[in-house]
Amino acid sequence: MLGLPRSTEVNRRVPKEKLYASGSVRAAIRDMMKDQIESVTWRNKLADSTIGVAAGEEVKEIQVFEVALRQKALDRRILTAIAKAIPYKIVFMARFGSEAQAWMEASGTFYATEWFPLDGFALKFEGLNLDAMYGSLARQIASGRLDAEDDLSSAVDRDRRRLRLERDIALLEKKIQREPQFNIQVELNAVLKSMKQELEELLHG
């Protein structure tokens, strides 16, 4: 699917029962797996021995799992549970019909691409070591949300702060519109201005 070297291929079905056996998979998640997932296949193993890229300090191997879906939707809690059950970094390729979507966890946050035609999907697997490759993949899948100049954990933290500020700004703007008292509107607008300035500094500082 991703044009990786044959030396990386595993192509081994992962029984969902093995995933269920993990203590990280609660009954509700198990039910979602049954409803949303047709099958899970371990497609590739990226390691020094398979792709000739040295292990990093944090990332020793990267696995590629293909998740065949019953519907064009996937609850990220399923991937969180699978990731907890497997002690390696994973790139998930969700597939429905002739389309695919890549998912990946970075510093506790899952990112996903848009849906793409299978024959038009491409990720660049590059980096001096597997730490760098993992960071590169995360930035590709996050589609511009992660700052390339920061280390990965700092970039994810910045993205979380941005999302939180954008959400809080939107809620405050709605609150101001509903507020009937002018003096309270003035106070809230001052808070809003401060939040927008903080967001601007976060984005361009």
pLDDT at residue 24, rounded to an integer: 60
Identify the H or E element spanning 161: helix 152-178
The answer to whether the predicted template modeling score (pTM) of the entire model surpasses 0.75 is yes
Question: Average pLDDT of each block of 10 consecutive residues along the chain (205 residues)?
Answer: 89 84 74 91 96 94 96 90 87 94 92 89 89 95 86 91 95 95 94 94 79
Residue 45 CA to residue 121 CA, distance in Å, equals 19
Contact criterion met (CB below 8 Å) for 15 and 47: no
pLDDT at 147: 85
Count, residues in the chain = 205
Distances in whole angstroms, Cα of residue 138 to Cα of each of 23, 29, 93, 96 = 27, 25, 13, 22
Domains of the chain, by residue range, sit at 6-146, 153-204
Query: Which amino acid, residue 152?
Result: L
Residue 56 confidence (pLDDT): 94
Residue 179 has φ and ψ, to the nearest 5°, of: -75, 120
Q: Where in 50-162 does DSSP place strands (E)?
A: 62-69, 89-96, 99-106, 109-112, 116-117
Predicted pLDDT at 150? 77
pLDDT of residue 160: 93
What is the distance between the terminal CA atoms of the chain, rounded to a whole angstrom? 39
